[in-house]
Structure 1
Amino acid sequence: MTMLYPGVFNNDFLNAQRILCDPPADEFIKDVFEDTTQKQALFQNLNALHYNEQADKFAGYYPGNDFINSAVTLPQWANAKLMTKGAAFFANHAEAIMNLLGLLSLPYCYAAANGAMVLYLSDRLRTDTHKRLQETGEFVWEVMGPGAFDFGGKGFTSILKVRLIHAAARYYVQKDGNWDLAWGMPVNQEDMAGTNIAFSLIVIRGLRKLGYTIEPEEQEGFLHLWRVIGCLLGINQELLPSDIHLVRELENAIRTRQFRASEQGQELMRSLTLIFNEAAKGKDQNPRDVLGLIRHLLGDEITTMLAIDTPELPPDKLNFIKMLSLWQDLKPGSKPQVAYKSAYHKLHR
């Protein structure tokens, strides 16, 4: 069911989304965190929660809680065939997509000044950047894997954990008294929608900039899978359009409203750059080439906002990257499960 039409993503609509968060998750965290014993028990229960098949046991700790009980239910509009196509597309492009999350998606999010504020204040992306990147990467692997939402998968439980982490971040950020409501609520609906777009539509754009050819049905499946993930993460239906034209319109509206230079976004980018520099040196690469590739992917305007002053990669290096992408496109595809496992082990090595 599509309720959105061109022009709906205006300032009045998106301003309203900035004061909306995730009421079911926020209420659950507030109730649990008011009791120290319950709070400690929640952390222990979450640490033991890994697979979808464990969801019933977890729900048993919170009998009658509709929020927890509904955490393993796909939205009615979820299309199993499109989700399978989306997972297969990820499996066949996993190495490039995972690299793009660090080179493109996260810097894209840092350019949203108000949204970057909660990442800055929560501190972990600055002081423990490497571990935070690993956690983000593991989340993507778990929700994108073939069969992620089957009984033996990890999709539902991984999403529930992140949803509760978001609610806990809102709880603590607001409690410490440093939050200004002029920024909107922390981890609000507009910011969550923007992040979902950064991991879906923006990744598709990045792949094309690297020279990959993406068929319409592959794009449709990948975007649909992220739409399902966004719904399970608590993003409102109005911010998860199924029409690609509306997705682009929403992305443009959020970017126009929220992207600007900020000290917080630039510091987050500096912390991320340190990780890139370490990785480049370990592979005997020039760290400036990594930043040059980021400029190519993000464009001059956003890289300037993030205080990245490195010029774009020279044409010969960009052409070499695109040639490698073309070669990957020409390789015969493996079965999704095989391709997924191969890419997972390769990247973790």
Structure 2
Amino acid sequence: MATRLTAGDPLADAVVAELDLYGTGARRVLDVGLRRGLASLDEPPPAAVAALLKQVESAPTWVDPLMLHRGDVVSQSVPPMWFGLCSITSALAYAYASPAVAGPLARQGQPAAMAAHRLAKAGVWTRQTIRPGGLLRGAPGYVATVDLRLRHARMRAKALKDWDAGAEGLPIGQLDMARTWLGITHVAFRTLSVIGIDVTAEEERSLHQYWSYVAHLLGLDESLYGDVADRASADRLRDLLDWATAAPDENSRALTRAMIDAQARAMAAAPDAVLSEDQLRVLIHNVLRRSFGDGTADRLGIPTPTATDLMPLIGTLNRQARYWQTFSPASAQAARRQEPEAAEPEPTAVVLPLGIALRQGTAVSHRAPTAA
């Protein structure tokens, strides 16, 4: 872990440098290469772009093609409301807990103004990634994941311009990228368990196997994720990441607070909302405090709710619903089908206020200078 403190993603960093050097032409070649494959290009791409395309197209030997066609069946079985309220919020809060992530993001603009946009980007990327076929070459999840990798590289390049040379670690380096990956897998499902949505050991193994391929596309060093196969091994990685990460700072608290407010506002504005914005905010605070523990929640500035604690009731109801959904193979398959069918068009209702749309739909921008 100590050696990873100063490790970045040399290949993605080189691609960002080439995009700056060659401009629009290189970006167009990269976009076509991601969507259609390296072999489809009519002209030789820049060296780093070619190396990146070759690397992401070379799937590890352990990748099961049928798994990619099925998508992340475990995440697909989670109701969209709880996926947004628990999975997305906990994953972002876990990433923001790192000052090396929070600092560069905070310098991009006012947290409150950027929060809804970042929620939208995170929600759309995750939905595209878990869908059946989402990670097949050229599919939306595949393209969006490589795009996220390049946005990390762009943020890293910008942050290094005024980075304190005496500070420990590297901004948006391997360890922070690992936090992003672990946040949407292990941390998200630990948070879902708080509201009664538990997964079996077999489902946990399936989840980590699927997301190990996401880690490959994100440019993570296999030594960080290769051994993560179940809850115990994921807990060990989380402990190591927390040990190697500085305590949350004011930027961490500002981003977390803005993200929670944006999520509560968005969900309250959804057409079928049954809770007010204040009630949803209290619910999110309660969920995150139970998931992270009081110590981490205090350091992230998550307040202690004073309203009636409904978590035991919510947990009981969700466990009962989950039991009947997975009572038989047929009911489990029907539950998994509900999420992707309900997610059309893009799931912006969960992460954006009513009336605001992602006009680009499923399209992903590959302009490296733009960071989420």
Q: Normalising to structure 2: TM-score of the pair?
A: 0.78
Deviation at 1:198, TM superposition (A): 0.9
Could you tell me how far apart the structure 1 residues matched to 2:166 and 2:84 are?
Answer: 33
Code of the residue aligned with 2:24 in structure 1: it is Q
Matched ranges for 1:171-210 at <5 A:
171-175=157-161, 177-180=162-165, 182-210=167-195
Structure 2 partner of 1:6: none
Would the alpha carbon gap of residues 246 and 305 (structure 1) be closer, same or farther in structure 2, given more than 3 Å must change? Answer: same
Matched, 1:39 2:23: yes
Tell me what 1:72 maps to: 57
Q: Which of 239, 243, 249 is the equivalent residue of 1:252?
A: 239
Change (3 A) 1:118 1:324: same
More helix as a share of residues: 1
CA distance in 2, matches of 1:312, 1:208: 22
* Aligned match for 1:297, one of 291, 295, 318: 291
Quote the Cα distance in structure 2 between the aligned partners of 1:172 and 1:105: 23
Q: Tell me which residue corresponds to 2:317.
A: 323
Letter matched to residue 342 of structure 2 = A
Provide, for residues 304-333 of structure 1, a one-character-per-residue CA deviation record: whole Å limited to 9, x for no partner: 001122337644444135413531442323
For 1:97, the equivalent position in structure 2 comes to 83
Q: For residues 53 and 281 of structure 1, what CA distance do their matches in structure 2 show?
A: 40
Residues 86 and 221 in structure 1, CA contact (< 8 A), matched pair in contact too = no
Q: Is the contact between residue 112 and residue 265 of structure 1 (CA under 8 Å) also seen in structure 2?
A: yes
- 1:246 is displaced (CA, Å) by 3.0
Alignment of 1:78-157 (within 5 A): 78-80=63-65, 87-93=72-78, 95=80, 96-123=82-109, 127-151=113-137, 153-157=139-143
Deviations 1:165-203 (A, max 9, x none): 11111122223x245551421211111112211111112
State the Cα distance separating 1:51 from its structure 2 match: 7.3
Which of 211, 218, 222 pairs up with 2:196? 211
- Quick one: structure 1 residues 60 and 187, their matched pair in 2 at CA, closer, same or farther if it must change by over 3 Å? farther
Q: Deviations over 1:100-151 (max 9, x none)?
A: 2333111122222333223323447554221121111111112211112335
The 1:160/1:152 distance shift into structure 2, 3 A limit, reads closer
Q: TM-score, normalised by structure 1?
A: 0.83
Q: What is the alpha-carbon distance in structure 2 between the residues aligned to residue 150 and residue 335 of structure 1? A: 23
- Give the 3 Å change call, closer, same or farther, for CA 213–250 of structure 1 in structure 2: closer
Letter in 1 for 2:86: L
| Alignment check: 8 A CA contact 2:19 2:27 kept | no
Q: Tell me, which stretches of 5 or more residues in structure 2 are unaligned?
A: 326-330, 350-372
Separation in 1, partners of 2:166, 2:133: 40
Cross-structure match for 2:363: none
The SS at the match of 2:133 is coil
Aligned partner of 2:198: which letter?
T
89-98 or 331-340, larger mean C-alpha shift: 331-340
Q: Which letter does structure 2 place at the counterpart of 1:213?
A: D
Structure 1 unaligned segments of length 5 or more: list them: 1-13
Question: What residue number does 1:9 align with?
Answer: none
Percent identity between the aligned chains?
Answer: 18
Q: Residue 310 of structure 1 aligns with which residue?
A: 304
Conserved in 2, the CA contact under 8 Å of 1:293 and 1:313? no
Question: How far is 1:82 from its partner?
Answer: 5.3
Contact 1:82 / 1:220 at 8 angstroms: preserved in 2? Answer: no
Asked if 2 retains the 8 angstrom alpha-carbon contact of 1:142 and 1:154, the reply is: yes
Aligned counterpart, 1:339? 338
Measured in 2, the distance between the counterparts of 1:143 and 1:280 equals 22
CA 1:317/1:234 → structure 2, altered by over 3 Å: closer, same or farther?
A: closer
Per the TM alignment, residue 26 of structure 1 is displaced from its structure 2 partner at its CA by 0.7
Greater Cα offset, 154-163 or 322-331: 322-331
1:162 maps to a residue whose letter is: L
2:352 paired residue number: none
